[in-house]
Amino acid sequence: MTIAGVEKSRGTATLYDELGPVREELNKCMKCGNCMAVCPVYLTDKAEAGVARGKIAVAEAVLSGELDIVDPDVVAMLFNCLVCKSCMQNCPTKVNFDRIMLALRAAIVRKKGLHPLKNMIFSLLKQPKLFDAGMKVGAALQGLAFRDDPSKKAISPRSPFAFVGKNYGFDLHRSLPELAPTPFRDWVPEVVKVKDAKTRAAFFTGCSVNYFYPQVGEDVVEVFKENRVQINIPKDQQCCGIAVFVHGDVKTVRELARKNLDAVEKSGAEYLVTACGSCGGAWQHEYSELLGDDPVYGPKAAYWSARTYDISTFLTKVIDYRLPTGKVEAVVTYHDSCHLKKTMKVSQEPRQILMSIPGVKFKEMAKPDACCGSGGSYLLTHYDTSKEIAQRKVADINQTQADQVTTGCPACMMQLLDHVGRFGRGQKIAHYISLLAESYRREKSGGNGNVR
Amino acid sequence: MIDKTIIKELEEIVGPKNVLSRKVDLVTYSYDATSDMPKQAPDIVVLPTTTTEVQRIVNLAQEQGLAIYPRGAGTNLSGGTIPLKKGIVLSFQRMSTIIEVDPDNLTATVQPGVVIQELNNAVAPFGLIYPPDPGTVATATMGGSIAENSGGLRGLKYGVTKHYVMGMEVVLANGDKVRFGGKTVKNVTAYDFANLFVGSEGTLGIVTEITVKLIPSPKYRRSMMCLFKKLEDAGNTVTGIIKSQVIPATLEIMDKMTIETVENYTRIGLPTDVEALLLVEVDGMAEEVVEREAQAVAKVVKENCGELKLAGSDAERDQLWAARRAALPALAQLNPTVVLEDATVPRTRVTDMLLSCQKIAKKYDLKMGTFGHAGDGNLHPTILTDANNKEEMERVHKAVDEIFATALSFGGTLSGEHGIGMAKMRYLGDEIGESGLRMMRSVKEALDPHYLLNPGKMVPAKEA
């Protein structure tokens, strides 16, 4: 395998349309087993089938015809992976394991179609009005099945529902974020103008901010205003599509990618900013990879790939953000979201921002970039493994004595909310950007602004 | 295929969760980290968590005539865990408790599935280390490294795994459990069984508990890089350092091919206009002793026309070792197949061996980089090739034959730290002769007369 060979395959999207090219990636694996040191699933199950090396061996057996890719055992094994990319950080020969995993899942879908339930849910994503209506109905009805826990800004299952749901992790101790009564994009103006704007940026909110964490969206807007950046929140932006891509639904993610590219292009912004590692990663990498062969959208995807930043990078590297002066007394630790650190390569910037806030005492946890076990829908399909992974994470969090756990990804926030609730010491969960917004707000209110 | 009733019995012994019999799982135990080896899936994988379970599994296997392959993390480089004749893979990945750390006696007792690095993490708060450090410390298990008698970078001064094993519990092929050795520094009771089982590659018994020696962590260290325009000068420096009675903790060499590849891969800033470089680290408990040793090394380097660069900070030191650790992965990037050997020679023959490796590579027209633990004579000639290229693989096998013959002619050995396994079994007679092979078989057959433990490895069975 030559380096040139690797580059060539990276330029095309055929890996997700036919399985052949995946062999080149498989050949890079020496079976050294270094992935075992970091794979969250392996460290929980302690079986070779959990780890990248084992899955690569299975992929080789599929390509040689020894195993059938739609054999239910093979399918189950290939879906027992968080696609957290931890193995890739530890791989001496730089196997792009995420591409192998997603190519195999796409091949499963090509051969046997999507599971009917997945098909129903994913189709809904492509119809934003229907999806939005569904989420709103959910928000209105959630009080029936969940009770409000104002101390944690969370809801937990009520007892009859917990009885049914406990096998799926929906027991009485499960904490979930509340569905917002009104989604973020419904009430935020499409353009938030500022005086003497330095530049114009589009904010891709992602579904989690829109439906579960609108206050994070509000904090992003606050930070932009304080830094004189005009912000555009395109109304017709949709789900980034990563959640369906990891289930092998290449068709839907491509469709969503094209719609999102149109929406952001229309905004006329110079940059695209995200506050979620998975969404940002999609814009930086997956879109251009998936649309590489598309003569119209390929170049658009490449254009925006180079102009997409996590908000922390945007603040520290693109514009020179204004140092906050409002005091926020808190002992804070930071969890590196996998997609933020391992896909977008963002890890120092959020720490830099947190440490620039007066009153914040920063405490690093052991293994801050160990996966929290969320994996998007992995936590729904593999709740027990996910919980064990999170338990190790929370043990590291507890060691720091911090009273707030921050991260840069709403999916991690949800997972931490649940498991800090179970195994933690009442630490608050926050997006790191919320602390910066809080500090700016306190400047205006003379040091004791609206404490959240 | 294995009988359903046997699967059921195994499930009764260890619980259904600890028996893997689906094809998709079996495929993932058909290999280890060794390249150019045949793949073979086992009939079944069993993951015990107690010694009693191991005994019951062994008894069942004896009854049924099934082979057993004890396996840790499967990171060995000798094909030592591949279930060549099918049967049961006995994986210790879930038998992984640190039973005790005893800082007053400087010992630790562990189950075989404990990862080496985890043991080091557990003893670090007491200011102690467990010195054997194969490249795979973060993944390899204690049981696996004991079976393979692993070495590593610190072997020169601190020795290898066998120097740290004080006692163990072993389940024999007949199902008996035996314990020997323990926490005493001195122990001459009975045969030295610990040293019989260390390095036995799972062919004599199944290790279920291990007591190891710990040592105080060295407080001071000096790291340096030495550059040479001639390979001979580097080799002579190695001999010279030892001759001046300095034993560095680490004394590593990289040849030109390796240096260029590592630099290409990492952009660490290694000079590519040299023929060889040495990485040296001296350490100890007293600063002035460490300083004196560093100066002695510097003197030898100068006498041999080398250029010395001292690591001024921890960051610079880390960079030096990052370069060394990158050697194998960097070489592995160049070609699909990497054949890594570990022929070892007496230290005074390091220069001869390095030059011979270069000659062999040229003779068979192969891409070969050589690096390794020069201080203990343990070199890693690494051939870059492609297993799909039949013609080239023939040349590779001839070159490997010649590397081993050369090492033996210098009074060396086939393997310094990777073990014999199935990769080097056919060369065994060349080193220990027919009488040696007969003794191997006598020992093997005394403990495992039916060759059920890791068959096809290390001990060539008698011709039928």
Please give the domain boundaries of chain B with CATH numbers for all domains: 4-91 (3.30.43.10), 98-216 (3.30.465.10), 218-330 (3.30.70.2190), 335-454 (3.30.70.2740)
- B93 contact residues in A (CB cutoff 8 A): 46-47
Enter the tokens of residue A117. 């339930």
**Pairs across A and B, CB distance < 8 A:** 85
Residue A63, CA distances (Å) to A76, A97, A249 in order: 17, 16, 21
Check residue B90 and give its pLDDT.
Answer: 98
CA distance B95 to chain A (A): 10
* Predicted confidence (pLDDT) per residue in B31-56, tens digit: 999 988 999 999 999 999 999 999 99
CA-CA-CA-CA torsion sign (B320, B326, B328, B334): negative
Enter the tokens of residue A214. 């609108």
- d(Cα B255, Cα B234) in Å, to the nearest integer? 9
Check residue B148 and give its pLDDT.
Answer: 96
Residue A2 clears pLDDT 60, i.e. is over it: no
Residue A390 clears pLDDT 80, i.e. is over it: yes
Among A37, A47, A61, the residue with its CB nearest the CB of B20 is A47
CA-CA-CA-CA torsion sign (A54, A60, A64, A67): positive
Of B327, B319, B404, B325, the residue nearest B360 (C-alpha): B404
Q: Higher confidence at residue B31 or residue B320?
A: B31
Residues 6+ apart with CB under 8 A from B225: B277, B278, B279, B280, B308, B309, B311, B320
CA distance B93 to chain A (A): 6
Interface of B with A (CB under 8 A): 20, 22-25, 27-33, 35, 45, 47, 73-75, 91, 93-94, 96, 113, 115, 117, 136, 138-139, 326, 328-329, 332-333, 335-336, 338
- Chosen for mutation from B27, B45, B264 (greatest number of chain A CBs closer than 10 Å) is B27
A132 falls in which pLDDT band (50, 70, 90)? confident
- d(Cα A19, Cα A70) in Å, to the nearest integer? 13
Residue A8 clears pLDDT 60, i.e. is over it: no
- d(Cα B167, Cα A67) in Å, to the nearest integer? 44
> Cβ of A32 and B33 within 8 Å?
yes
Enter the tokens of residue A367. 């293994």
CB atoms within 10 A of CB A133: 12
* Predicted confidence (pLDDT) per residue in B201-240, tens digit: 999 999 999 999 999 999 999 999 999 999 999 999 999 9
Location of structure tokens 């901010």:
A209
- d(Cα B464, Cα B456) in Å, to the nearest integer? 14
Mean pLDDT, residues B181-199 taken together: 95
Mean pLDDT, residues A297-320 taken together: 97
DSSP letters spanning A293-333: T-TTHHHHHHHHHTTEEEHHHIIIIIS-PPPP-S---EEEE
B463 falls in which pLDDT band (50, 70, 90)? low
> Cβ of A57 and B23 within 8 Å?
no
Residue A406 clears pLDDT 80, i.e. is over it: yes
Torsion from C-alpha of A378, A384, A389, A393, nearest 10 degrees: 110
> Cβ of B25 and A61 within 8 Å?
no
> Cβ of A31 and B33 within 8 Å?
yes
Check residue B392 and give its pLDDT.
Answer: 95
Mean pLDDT, residues A320-344 taken together: 97
Residue A12 clears pLDDT 60, i.e. is over it: no
CA distance B73 to chain A (A): 8
Check residue B282 and give its pLDDT.
Answer: 96
CA distance B136 to chain A (A): 7
Check residue A451 and give its pLDDT.
Answer: 45
The phi, psi pair for A407, rounded to 5°, reads: -160, 175
Check residue A448 and give its pLDDT.
Answer: 52
* Predicted confidence (pLDDT) per residue in B88-123, tens digit: 999 999 999 999 999 999 999 999 999 999 999 999
Residue A312 clears pLDDT 80, i.e. is over it: yes
Nearest CA in chain A to B74: A33
Judge whether A410 and A208 are in contact, CB under 8 Å: yes
- d(Cα B311, Cα B2) in Å, to the nearest integer? 58
H-helix or E-strand spanning residue B224 = strand B220-228
Among B32, B115, B326, the residue with its CB nearest the CB of A31 is B32
Q: Higher confidence at residue A272 or residue A446?
A: A272
Of A212, A208, A264, A256, the residue nearest A233 (C-alpha): A264
* Predicted confidence (pLDDT) per residue in A93-124, tens digit: 899 999 999 999 999 999 988 888 788 778 87
Check residue A447 and give its pLDDT.
Answer: 55
In this structure, chain B runs to a length of 464
Question: Average pLDDT, whole number, for chain A?
Answer: 90
Question: Average pLDDT, whole number, for chain B?
Answer: 94
Percent with pLDDT over 90 in chain A? 74
* Predicted confidence (pLDDT) per residue in B325-382, tens digit: 888 888 888 888 889 999 899 988 999 999 999 999 999 999 999 999 999 999 999 9
Judge whether A176 and A383 are in contact, CB under 8 Å: no
- Chosen for mutation from B17, B22, B24, B75 (greatest number of chain A CBs closer than 10 Å) is B24
Residue A79 clears pLDDT 70, i.e. is over it: yes
Check residue A6 and give its pLDDT.
Answer: 35
Sequence-ordered alpha helix ranges (H) in B267-412 = 287-303, 314-325, 327-334, 350-363, 390-409
Check residue A14 and give its pLDDT.
Answer: 67
Cβ-count burial B379-405 (b if 16+ within 10 Å, e if not): bbbbbbbebeeeebbebbeebbebbbe
Of A333, A210, A345, the residue nearest A277 (C-alpha): A345
> Cβ of A48 and B28 within 8 Å?
yes
Q: Higher confidence at residue B461 or residue B412?
A: B412
Mean pLDDT, residues A159-169 taken together: 69
Judge whether B213 and B107 are in contact, CB under 8 Å: yes
Residue A387 clears pLDDT 90, i.e. is over it: yes
H-helix or E-strand spanning residue B364 = none
Check residue A164 and give its pLDDT.
Answer: 64
* Predicted confidence (pLDDT) per residue in B123-157, tens digit: 999 999 999 999 899 999 999 999 999 998 899 99
Residue A452 clears pLDDT 60, i.e. is over it: no
Residue A176 clears pLDDT 90, i.e. is over it: no
* Predicted confidence (pLDDT) per residue in A213-222, tens digit: 999 999 999 9
3-state secondary structure of B99: strand
Cβ-count burial B202-238 (b if 16+ within 10 Å, e if not): bbbbbbbbbbbbbeeebeebbbbbbbbeebbbbbbbb
- Measured CA angle at A155 (ends A152, A160), to 5 deg: 140
- B339 contact residues in A (CB cutoff 8 A): none
Residue A4 clears pLDDT 60, i.e. is over it: no
> Cβ of B28 and A47 within 8 Å?
yes
* Predicted confidence (pLDDT) per residue in B406-448, tens digit: 999 999 999 999 999 999 999 999 999 999 999 999 999 999 9
- d(Cα B35, Cα B384) in Å, to the nearest integer? 11
Among A36, A71, A93, the residue with its CB nearest the CB of B332 is A93
Of A94, A93, A76, the residue nearest A85 (C-alpha): A94
Judge whether B269 and B322 are in contact, CB under 8 Å: no
> Cβ of A31 and B328 within 8 Å?
no
A293 falls in which pLDDT band (50, 70, 90)? confident
Check residue A174 and give its pLDDT.
Answer: 80
Check residue B432 and give its pLDDT.
Answer: 96
Catalogue the long-range contacts made by B92-96 (C-beta closer than 8 Å, 24 or more residues apart): B92/B47, B92/B48, B92/B141, B92/B143, B92/B144, B93/A46, B93/A47, B93/B47, B93/B141, B94/A46, B94/B18, B94/B47, B94/B48, B94/B49, B95/B47, B95/B48, B95/B49, B95/B50, B95/B208, B96/A46, B96/B141
- d(Cα B323, Cα A307) in Å, to the nearest integer? 34
Radius of gyration of chain B (CA): 23
Which domains can be identified in chain A, with CATH numbers?
3-112 (1.10.1060.10), 118-168 (no CATH), 184-318 (3.40.50), 330-444 (3.40.50.1860)
